[in-house]
Amino acid sequence: MRHFSLILTTLFLAAGCASHADRLREVRTQFYQGSVETASITLDKYIGNYPREAEAFKLDRAVVELAAGRPKEAEKLLREARDALDYNSQASLAEATGSMLTDDTHTAYAGEDYEKVMIRAMLAITNLMSGGEDATAYSLQVSDMQERIIASGAEGSQQNPKLTYKRVALGEYIRGALNEASRVDYNEAVRSWTKVCSWEPSFPYGRYDVERATNGHHSQQGNGVLYVFALVGRGPYKEETVEVASTISMFAASAIVNATAKRSIPPSIAPIKVPKVVVYHNSMNNVLVSANGRPVGPTATITDVGKLAVEQYQAVYPRVVVRAVTRRVAKEGIMYGAKEAMKTQKNGWVDLAMNIGGIAWQAAESADCRCWGLLPDRIQVLRVELPAGDHQIQLQPNGGYGTLLGADTTVRIEPGRNTYLMGVFADGHPIGKLLSSNGSAPAAGPAVKLAGR
């Protein structure tokens, strides 16, 4: 019983530290309650205090900057994080070895595959809100990164789980909008819209886009086009979970070794921890758009970020488990080798002390829950053709519980050109400010109130 108490105490102490998931939970609570500036301060503190988590928190900081109406600052942070994740994705033997002795939280964060693609997609949207000079380049990077990621899945394996990855249509959608507005690249616009229809067949406006571009038509004489982008819902994040089957298997394997080998190994009683992608239950369906008090339509999903994250992670999850199990086997092998070198007596005091140390070593492992925690659940869009001039645009959340709060702003439509409007919505209310490509819009507040439905 005394030995068992020592083991339990060791496990308790090893599991007592706050994690990235705990810190992210605080940030998400602040942000989704609408406390954008408070979330900004919290993120700055965490970026400074936790360097191994800094790149993930910079991505969250970029979303906060976007919601605060500062697209240039958001773009700068996204570029920095993009370049850092690309660099961290390069293989490092020293880091790989070190992570086997500790866990994956001690490596530089390289990001999940869906995050690497979404950085480029969010860069394209963000750049549209501040001039759009680089939006085409960013949208091309979306497709390029997807190809690179899928090709990387075949490295070191005859089977490529990433072949099942769904393509992100947002980059091609933005390319189509830009090429169509140029009035000289309608064929390119048709190719982009066609890819959107293929990659996102449930997008209801895709066939109209193809038809319009095929006919070489951007807008009627004297009209312009407004694209409304809505970042809807609380996006995916990671939580620590226990891989039960692998934990039981490792416990059984260590028991067999201890029963048959001349040296013991620490019993594998510490759970094998792995990260799990979690999708929040969002009640919002879309955003209803009105112009000058007249309804013009709902936004529709062009990229389901939550679904994308879950499906991609499920595809590579077996590799995540194999890595965690390999780490546990390596640690037990190291302990067995150390006992061989020291010629410890099985079940002696030194052997017991080393076993307790080995258990603590195992229990100190944490799942790598670093992630881009402020991505939206869905990115939605609506294209509206309007006469040139100033228009009062109302955005009203649709679906959800309790009181729904909308937002409105004035946008200027120029003849033959595109204007872009973006808002962040979660839990039936806007967060921060609406952003317009022809100037930062007023704060997104309770301009419209409707009873829960």
pLDDT in tens, 23-66: 999 999 999 999 999 999 999 999 999 999 999 999 999 999 99
Structural contact between residues 424 and 231, judged by C-beta atoms closer than 8 angstroms: yes
Q: What is the mean pLDDT of the chain?
A: 84
pLDDT 10s digits, 357-383? 666 767 677 889 999 999 999 999 999
With a cut of 60, say whether residue 410 has pLDDT above it. Answer: yes
Rounded to whole angstroms, how far apart are CA atoms 21 and 252?
A: 30
In contact, 115 and 236? CB cutoff 8 Å? no
Please state the rounded mean pLDDT for residues 385-405.
85
Whole-number pLDDT of residue 109: 92
Query: Greater confidence, 259 or 119?
Result: 119
Query: Alpha carbon of 180 to those of 185, 194, 215, 447: distances in Å?
Result: 6, 13, 11, 33
Residue 339 sits at the vertex; the CA angle it makes with 333 and 342, to the nearest 5 degrees, is 140
Q: Half-sphere exposure (CA, 13 Å, Cβ side) for 229?
A: 27
Give the model confidence (pLDDT) of 225-256 as tens digits: 999 999 999 999 999 888 755 555 554 445 45
Structure-token pair, residue 123: 């860069």
User: Which H or E run contains 432?
Assistant: strand 429-436
Rounded to an integer, the average pLDDT of 391-398 is: 94
Choice among 179-188, 195-204, 424-433 with the minimum mean pLDDT: 179-188
Give residue 157's pLDDT: 64
The residue to which tokens 């609506």 are assigned: 382
Helix (H) and strand (E) counts in the chain: 14, 14
Kindly state the tokens that stand for 178. Answer: 């830009």
Tokens at residue 100, please?
């086997």
Q: How far apart are CA 452 and CA 388, in angstroms?
A: 35
CATH number (domain holding residue 43): 1.25.40.10
What is the per-residue pLDDT for 104? 76
| Burial class for 94, CB neighbours closer than 10 Å (0-12, 13-18, 19+) | exposed
Report the pLDDT averaged over residues 258-275: 64
Q: Which residue has the higher pLDDT, 256 or 172?
A: 172
What is the structure's pLDDT at 327?
78
Greater model confidence, 23 or 258: 23
The lowest-confidence range among 42-46, 209-213, 272-276, 388-392 is 272-276
Residue type, 364: A
Of 265, 274, 442, residue with least CA distance to 340: 265
Residue 441 predicted with pLDDT over 60: no
Within 8 A by CB and 6+ apart from 352, the residues are: 3
Residue 440 pLDDT > 60, yes or no?
no
> Structural domain tally of the chain?
1
Whether the predicted pLDDT of 257 surpasses 60: no
Range of the domain at 177: 2-450
Quick one: pLDDT band at residue 14, thresholds 50, 70, 90? very low
How is residue 162 annotated by DSSP?
G
